[in-house]
Amino acid sequence: MSYTVEIRDIAKRYGKLDAVRDVSFALPAGETVALVGHNGAGKTTLIKLMLGLIHPTFGTVSVLGENPAGGDFAARRRLGYLPENVAFNGALTGRELLTFYTRLKGGPVSLILPLLDRVGLAAAADRRVGTYSKGMRQRLGLAQALIGEPALLLLDEPTTGLDPALRQSFYEIVQDLRDRGATVILSSHALTELEERTDRVIVMNRGAMVANGSLEELRHIARLPTRIRFHLQDGRLGPKQSWLGGLGEWRPVNGHIVELDAMPGQKIDVLRQAIQAGAPLDDVEITPPTLDELYVHFLRSQEEAS
């Protein structure tokens, strides 16, 4: 299998500090990858290594089959990058800025207006960027990263400053790129919004990779319980709830909802048991471990192991 990105035993050292250490992973084409971790965990360092902006102290990085740290990194034209802090020359218009970046990348200028349209900036194309709002500048940054239909898109905290509607349209653009076969790497702290939008999650902690897999795989490894909430039909959690007896530990949420935890593989059993025992159910909510919970779990596991 050929990979868009292959990182092997990489380390990046600044003096005595290991910004990144012992990290290896491979990303196939057409995957959306969330790179998560606390401040200073090493996410931006990994992105910069993939872009060839910095060189590894140890290990190898391969991007689209080339070494980004090599002098002749031709695949650079097939990368899109949205830095954490986008800074543009405010005196230029959105259209002028994209023209500049398109020429740098060698792409067709005829695609600039469609690109501005794609990120919802067509109407502001001829306004100076200095007059743009933060969200508009962020969208311009995204348009800049999309120049030339990149095969690998690296987005460092891309949704910071975007309102909910723009976040939604941002993820639609990401989905569209992914469907066209691009690999998209998103570094973010917004775990809840990433949850159902990524194929893979890589968790970094103090320079080390502590988890790498799909949400399902991470849930399987972590073995955290799923929360089940029973809404009771008669609207009252009375003293006689004998059907709850065999279901293990439970807790009332309010007067008409009870909650219990089921380990992976036990959800169906718990539901079956409740129904067979005559539970007066009005509704059931099943919440698997969230990315937030998994993140905390993997961080704690590493802390305990070290």
What CA–CA distance (Å, rounded) separates 299 from 194?
A: 18
Per CB under 6 A, 19 contacts ligand ATP: yes
Does the protein bind ligand ATP through residue 165 (CB under 6 A)? Answer: no
> Considering the rule CB under 6 A, would residue 205 count as an interface residue with ligand ATP?
no
Cβ–Cβ < 8 Å for 168, 159:
no
* 21 near ligand ATP, rule: CB under 6 A: no
Say how many residues touch ligand ATP, by CB under 6 A.
Answer: 12
Of 136, 138, 174, nearest to 33 (Cα)? 174
- The stretch near ligand ATP (CB under 6 A) out of 33-41, 117-125, 158-166, 268-276 is 33-41
Q: Cα separation of 295 and 209, whole Å?
A: 12
Taking CB under 6 A as the rule, does residue 248 contact ligand ATP?
no
Q: Are 201 and 187 in contact (CB under 8 A)?
A: no
| DSSP string over 149-200 | --SEEEEESTTTT--HHHHHHHHHHHHHHHHTT-EEEEE-S-HHHHTTT-SE
Place of tokens 């530990």: 249
Shortest distance (Å) from residue 130 CB to ligand ATP: 26
- Binding of ligand ATP by 14 (CB under 6 A): yes
**Measured from the CB atom, is 43 or 178 closer to ligand ATP?**
43
- What is the distance in angstroms between the CA of the first residue and the CA of the last residue of the chain? 34
Measured from the CB of residue 244, what is the shortest distance to ligand ATP in angstroms? 44
Residue 43 touches ligand ATP, criterion: CB under 6 A: yes
Of 19 and 119, nearer to ligand ATP (C-beta) is: 19
The CA distances from residue 224 to 46, 191, 204, 289, 293, in Å, are 29, 17, 19, 6, 8
Question: Using the rule CB under 6 A, which residue among 1, 16, 39, 242 binds ligand ATP?
Answer: 39
Asked if 85 interacts with ligand ATP (CB under 6 A), we say no
Please give the structure tokens belonging to residue 118. 């794609």
Considering only 40, 65, 246, 265, the residue that binds ligand ATP (CB under 6 A) is 40
44 lies in the binding site for ligand ATP (CB under 6 A): yes
42 touches ligand ATP by CB under 6 A: yes
- CA dist list (Å): 58 to 3, 17, 18: 20, 14, 11
Stretch that binds ligand ATP, among 3-11, 32-40, 247-255, 281-289 (CB under 6 A): 32-40
Residues found near ligand ATP in the complex (CB under 6 A)? 14, 17, 19, 37, 39-45, 84
